[in-house]
Amino acid sequence: MISQFFVLSQRGDNIVFRDYRGDIQKGSAEIFFRKVKFWKEDGKEEAPPVFNLDGVNYIHVKVVGLLFVATTRNNLPPSLVLELLQRVARVIKDYLGVLNEDSLRKNFVLVYELLDEVIDFGYVQSTSTEVLKSYIFNEPIVVDAGRLPSLGPAALFMQGNKRMPGTAVTKSVVAHETGGTKREEIFVDVIEKISVTFSSSGYILTSEIDGTIQMKSYLSGNPEIRVALNDDLTIGRGGRSIYDYSGSSGSGAVILDDCNFHESVHLDSFDVDRTLSLVPPDGEFPVMNYRITQEFKPPFRINTLVEESEHFKAEVILKIRAEFPSSVTANTIVIEMPLPTYTTRVNFELEPGAVGQRTDFKESNKRLEWSLKKIVGESEHTLRVKLTFPQELHGNITKEAGPVSMTFTIPMYNPSGLQVKYLQIAKKTKTYNPYRWVRYVTQANSYVARI
């Protein structure tokens, strides 16, 4: 069982706090934040999700900039508490529509009511949005979606200067529209997190996709729905290659290593026509999780060249090539590269006419950072970095620099080729308004290039 639960802002402000057992000293939230903010142990700059301090176990996750924390003196399975924190954050978001500091402060009465139903004396009762609706009576105060931070969840579906429909991101499952009516909608997202490792010569060493078909339902009456996937979807290795260069628009075979489904999904016809039938619960939930380890075309190619120009100087050339179609745009790209510990000065040289790019040298950990606001498909970007050292070099600089790591988000693109062909509602009424499209998102889980 857990002893305390609290939510902290990025500044360390205590937004939500609930003490369930009274066996931990006061001020634990402040103790936790100071420890995390100034973490310097084990040669790392960020605190691990689980650590012990003075006999108290602190377990935390970061969700959209907020710290969700649980404390306990018992030896609980960390994965259990981490999953609980993620589910609490998801339930709160289902009820508030928007999960940020402003929405928590405006709806603190509703949040505490949810916490009292989810956790009782430190023991978990239920984290189901649908089940909790029977016990929650407070109405949410809807926060204006326009006040979302620019890098929040709504920003995932920005294509250039146009915002794609994304009301599921900022909508409560219990709030009603003006006039007391409820909009009957259902949203489907295919989110894929990819892990790729390149060799120094640019060859792919490892590649993996962790995907989720995420659904958020606002349909009353619990109608049965059917979701159709690719006809040529295969589960289990069959020795075939899925090296499909057309991304989410391709029609090549999709081979999953393994997958699992939500408890509400029925697989009666899945083996026949790759169709899932389910009665969706209220709120957001994963319909299907899957994993792919067979080869696929990575969305970016990273080329790195390191040259020693003089005894006290060296030059690094970073080149990023977008391998996806020109109709797709990647957002919030960040490239990082550790430099030799004896580096004293770094000069950056961006390509002519570069817009929306920022460079920085982190002196504390000798790391360069290159940020790009967006990258259009089939484009290429280059950064030149000149390094200065205090003494003559001895040894190979390529062994002391790198590897290059990259993070990004690509809306409406998925390298696996898995598609939701259609979504049908068994007993459709005039009030139902399901969206006729599916949002695809690709994110970097671990994208690394060796030097």
CA distances 250 to 26, 60, 292, 415, 441, Å, are: 57, 40, 16, 9, 16
358's CB contacts (< 8 A; 6+ apart) are: 370, 371
Instruction: Report whether 145 contacts 168 (CB < 8 A).
Output: no
Q: pLDDT tens digits, residue range 227-262?
A: 999 988 888 865 444 444 344 444 457 889 999 999
> Identity (one letter) of the amino acid at 195?
S
Q: What H or E segment, with its residue span, contains residue 361?
A: strand 357-362
pLDDT, residue 4, reads: 93
Report the length, in residues, of the chain.
451
CA distances 449 to 48, 221, 274, 317, Å, are: 24, 50, 36, 13
- The segment(s) of the chain belonging to CATH 2.60.40.1170 are 184-297+413-449, 300-411
CA distances 88 to 126, 202, 241, Å, are: 10, 42, 40
> Identity (one letter) of the amino acid at 35?
K
Q: Roughly how many angstroms between the first and final C-alpha of the chain, as a whole number?
A: 46
Regions of the chain short of the pLDDT cut 50? 146-167, 239-251
* Average pLDDT value for the chain: 83
Burial class (CB in 10 A: 0-12, 13-18, 19+), 443: middle
Instruction: Report whether 301 contacts 320 (CB < 8 A).
Output: yes
The CATH code belonging to domain 4-132 is 3.30.450.60
pLDDT, residue 221, reads: 75
Superfamily of domain 300-411 in CATH is Mu homology domain, subdomain B (2.60.40.1170)
Domain covering 184-297+413-449: architecture = Sandwich (2.60)
pLDDT, residue 107, reads: 92
- The segment(s) of the chain belonging to CATH 3.30.450.60 are 4-132
pLDDT, residue 184, reads: 72
pLDDT, residue 363, reads: 85
pLDDT, residue 163, reads: 42
pLDDT, residue 170, reads: 66
Say if residue 403 is preceded by a cis peptide, omega within 30 of 0.
yes
Largest CA distance in the chain: 76
Q: pLDDT tens digits, residue range 11-40?
A: 999 999 999 998 898 889 999 999 998 887
